[in-house]
Amino acid sequence: MFCRQLTWILASAAILAAIGAEPLKIRGTAFANWWRIGETVCFKGDRPIPESDRIRVKVTDVTGKPVFTGEVGGREFNEKGWRWLPPSPGYFEAEFFRSGSVNGDVAEQYRFRVYKQDRHTKKYSLAGDTQIPVTKHPFGVATPTRPVAEISPVFGMSPHFGRYRDFLPLSRLVGFRGIRVHYIDWAKLEKEKGVWNWKALDEFMKLAREYGYSEEDITLNLMGTPRWASTRPDATWINICIQEYKTVIPKQMEDWRNFIRAVMRRYPGVKKYELWNEPHLIGYSCFWSDSVENFVALLKAGYETVKAENPDAVVHLGGIGMRYLPFYRELLKLGGDRYYDVLPMHGSWVQMAPFRRMEKQFGRKSKPWLSSEWHAMLLRASFPWPSEPMQTRNMLCDFLNQVRQGAQEVDFFCIVNAPNFEKECLPWMKKFDPGSASHVSGLFRKTPFLAPRYQALAWHVLSDLVRGKLTVHDGFRFGDGKDQCGILLSSDAGELLIFWTEGEKPVRIDRELANIVAASVVCEADGRPVSRPAEMTLAPEFYYIARNPDRKLLAAAKGRGAEVLIPQGKALPLSHEMHGNYLPGKLFDAKLELTAAGRRAPRMALAEKVVCDASARAGEIAGFFSVALDRENFELYAELEDAVHHPVPGEAPWKGDSIQFAFDGGGKGLAGDRIEFVLTLDREGRAGVVKNFAAPLGGDLPERYTPANEPMRTAAVAGERRNGRTVYRLRLPVSELYPLTVPPNGTLRFSLLANNNDGSGRAYYREWASGIGGEKSPAEYGDLTVLQPARELLKGRPFRPFRQGADQRLAATANGYRVDAGAIGRKDAAGVAVSVGNLLPNASYRLTFRARGTAQLEVVSFAGAPRIDLVKRTSLKPEWQTFEAVLTLPEGRNAASLNFFAWEQPGVFFEVSDISLTPY
């Protein structure tokens, strides 16, 4: 991809060189190249051209398919410009070609420079400098945007405050309701104590009102300790994007309180305040470089100040993301949840389940949540770069996934790209500095002119079709291959069915789906109408919107209830809270009776109780399960104490007494990759198993494989009721788990639950791990690792310096080692290491140790390439801290080294003690 894009850029640059240093610049006459339907699109030059010259124009859609071609003479172009009346709404791109005195593309260029920061000096240096040519002029044609008050509250935005003169008028083209202003910089507002500069914020509030935004729909994100107030005033360097002195607690908390009071009193109509941005453990967020304890103190002071000024005001925690769970755990431990009303999330593809589970673990009540910085279309040099339609569809699914989980508001980040940083810059960024934090995330491009991206038109269409509360209903799958998908939405404006194909080639609409949308008004994502929906072809990567689909046909659809809100290839953060072991071998003999090894197999208890229907009466159940795996079969034994056995025959056996279990087939935590089963025992003692969901196979045709919801003839299953106990036994060929392939000794991502129904409904279930009974979320599954003999693997192993010849002092202590770093230079480290052998390839091992000191400690294993980061750089404390990590060996490796070190840190010390490595 990089080579193709670079070739195009170099070819365009050659055109620019040929036409001179000051080429003709062409601009649309409408603000941001955005016209209303019925208006004439017009582009003009920035200077006259010879009347004998001619301008040829080619208009295409987002795929490059020609929509219109035309030509205009020099005289007419000078007087009127090029003019065109679009036949429909949509996203378009215009290219201009000149002939006569100058021949070729009408192109212009802008300068793109990349600056790279030195990790040690914190200084930036120029890493790359180039010229980026632009030949295409994107423009949009859309329906009028409704007034702000008529737009659903779920459509919010999270722009950078400094770009308010751009984002306010641009946002009114798209259609948003709320504004989370990121961020109101205390250090700029009160640069000197008591000296306030309200100019920019006053202007923003005035313009926001003029564009129709109510102060009640504005959230002010407050942060940024001034240097005069900071506990670290000498930390003047920029940490990624912010001076570090701004990211710590103030010396006097009253200064923070005074800042909040001043803002609230100046803008009394604002009722929502987000206190700080992305706090994390030290070293994990550039916006907070202080302790969790100090953040809780800051949050407490801010919360109490806000409530004292206005008891009805709403306090938001500084937004956090999926990788912030360790911080959230510490926050809950310290009682920090008492000092906010709403939990804001940041990032994309947010999953609330791990946060809710952690709150439950600490006995805390869950707060309402919203997405205050949704990275809807953020791209970096290190990311894949999807097409505009594919990114639009992925962001639609992400948005609906958040709404389905109860997000009150989803704030789009952000409205317009940073100056001189557009999507075409990413190949150069990847070349110059692939690890840069710079990004492309705007609905509109900024350079060399304001213009919409395809996503801006799509978001305008969606926000225009929704009114009031948006509700996400069932998902659907259509067609023989089930690759045609749909999701039903409803709001005060009516129902919408959004549908698409997951295939890679154009496909004729499935007959069932065609009948559902035949009488509907259907459009593409950007508003382009579809003339005959029942005969349409679904293009890959695109989605379509049908208004008021046939509700009766939808209710009877065969694929109703399917999970379709799936990120395109993006892995989700995986939970590792639940862990168990499987037996390598067999639980049963040929008659499905437990062998001696099976009776000794590890037992995983079904401890967690989840209520489904509080009105359904049912007695208590308890139980356990054991698992075995070899190259041929997966075996499961489950035993439950259950006084009343009440199965429910039919298409929903999980509503009765039964076992559900599932595997993550892709290891990414995606619902569409799961393989899920239901194990039953009827009143006559006949056991059965159903595969009720199967991950896509692609083009593979595995043997001994049963598609979902078809009779399973490959499984051996038995069960019985005995003395108030229910027993299930299952042997399943591993081919039935396809596309899941588990290497010998590898880890299974697995979950299991037992349903309880005593006759009045599915009352509750008990589970091991999660992700089955409620939201389908393989990210919440647990880890099953191979059973190994319990032993200490480091016993008798000699420790050695991490780097031979490094300037350090290594001394043995009672239960470990102390490392004192000397004059450690660049690309050097002080540390201690140990090697261990006789390990199982693909198996997992638990590392535990204690550490203290002044260093920032890293723990890395080298078991082949790439290295395995067990503990990322962590600041140690004077008191002992306990660490735990899991080492999973790569395929074909039976040995590893453990390395504890401080990289490029002269003069520090650390101690490690009680180091243990055992089978996991």
Percent of residues, the chain, with pLDDT higher than 70: 94
In degrees and rounded to multiples of 5, residue 460 shows phi and psi of -60, -45
Q: What is the model's pLDDT at position 219?
A: 98
Q: How far is CA 576 from CA 249, 320, 653, 669, in A?
A: 33, 20, 29, 12
DSSP run (H or E) holding 792: none
Instruction: Indicate if the pLDDT at residue 177 is higher than 50.
Output: yes
Q: What is the model's pLDDT at position 671?
A: 84
DSSP run (H or E) holding 432: helix 426-432
- Return the structure tokens found at 547: 């208004």
- CB 320, CB 288: distance < 8 Å: no
Taking alpha carbons only, the member of 634, 659, 624 closest to residue 645 is: 659
Q: What is the model's pLDDT at position 735?
A: 82
Separation of CA 744 from chain center: 31
SS3 label, residue 125: strand
Q: How far is CA 848 from CA 54, 561, 800, 869, 919, in A?
A: 75, 44, 19, 14, 11
Instruction: Indicate if the pLDDT at residue 450 is higher than 70.
Output: yes
Mean per-residue pLDDT, 600-620: 94
Instruction: Indicate if the pLDDT at residue 818 is higher than 70.
Output: yes
Mean per-residue pLDDT, 878-895: 90
SS3 label, residue 918: strand
Per the model's pLDDT, the better-predicted residue between 550 and 327 turns out to be 550
- CB 390, CB 501: distance < 8 Å: no
- Provide the 8-state DSSP code for 665: S
- Return the structure tokens found at 713: 């003839």
Residue whose token pair is 């070609």: 97
Q: What is the model's pLDDT at position 5?
A: 41
Alpha carbons within 13 angstroms on the beta-carbon side of residue 354 total 26
Q: How far is CA 427 from CA 4, 155, 421, in A?
A: 10, 32, 11
One-letter amino acid for residue 590 of the chain: A
Mean per-residue pLDDT, 797-802: 95
Per the model's pLDDT, the better-predicted residue between 829 and 437 turns out to be 829
Question: Average pLDDT over the chain, rounded to whole?
Answer: 92
Least confident of 208-217, 450-459, 569-578: 569-578
Residues 6 or more apart whose Cβ sits within 8 Å of residue 353: 770, 771, 774, 775, 777, 779, 780
Instruction: Indicate if the pLDDT at residue 18 is higher than 50.
Output: no
Instruction: Indicate if the pLDDT at residue 729 is higher than 90.
Output: yes
SS3 label, residue 677: strand
Mean per-residue pLDDT, 99-121: 86
Q: Starting at the edge strand that comes first in sequence, how are the strands of the sheet with 816-821 ordered?
A: 808-812, 816-821, 909-919, 844-853, 881-888
Q: What is the model's pLDDT at position 436?
A: 60
d(CA 747, CA 72): 66
d(CA 586, CA 601): 10
One-letter amino acid for residue 188 of the chain: K
SS3 label, residue 641: strand
- Provide the 8-state DSSP code for 800: E
Confidence of residue 708 (pLDDT cuts 50, 70, 90): confident
Instruction: Indicate if the pLDDT at residue 701 is higher than 60.
Output: no
Instruction: Indicate if the pLDDT at residue 862 is higher than 90.
Output: no
- Residues 345-371: pLDDT tens digits? 999 889 898 899 789 878 999 999 999
d(CA 883, CA 886): 11
Q: Please calculate the CA angle 537-542-547 and round it to the nearest 5 degrees.
A: 75
SS3 label, residue 392: helix
d(CA 611, CA 600): 32
Q: What is the model's pLDDT at position 697?
A: 53
- CB 433, CB 116: distance < 8 Å: yes
Confidence of residue 709 (pLDDT cuts 50, 70, 90): confident
Question: Pairing mode, if any, of strands 155-157 and 136-142?
Answer: unpaired
Taking alpha carbons only, the member of 860, 880, 877 closest to residue 868 is: 860
DSSP run (H or E) holding 201: helix 199-210
d(CA 352, CA 782): 17
Q: What is the model's pLDDT at position 379?
A: 84
- CB 634, CB 627: distance < 8 Å: yes
Confidence of residue 323 (pLDDT cuts 50, 70, 90): confident
Q: How far is CA 50 from CA 102, 105, 739, in A?
A: 10, 16, 65
Taking alpha carbons only, the member of 856, 854, 845 closest to residue 898 is: 845
Least confident of 264-278, 634-648, 861-875: 861-875
Mean per-residue pLDDT, 752-779: 94
Return the number of other C-beta atoms located less than 10 Å from residue 290's C-beta.
Answer: 17
Cis peptide leading into residue 920 (ω within 30°): no
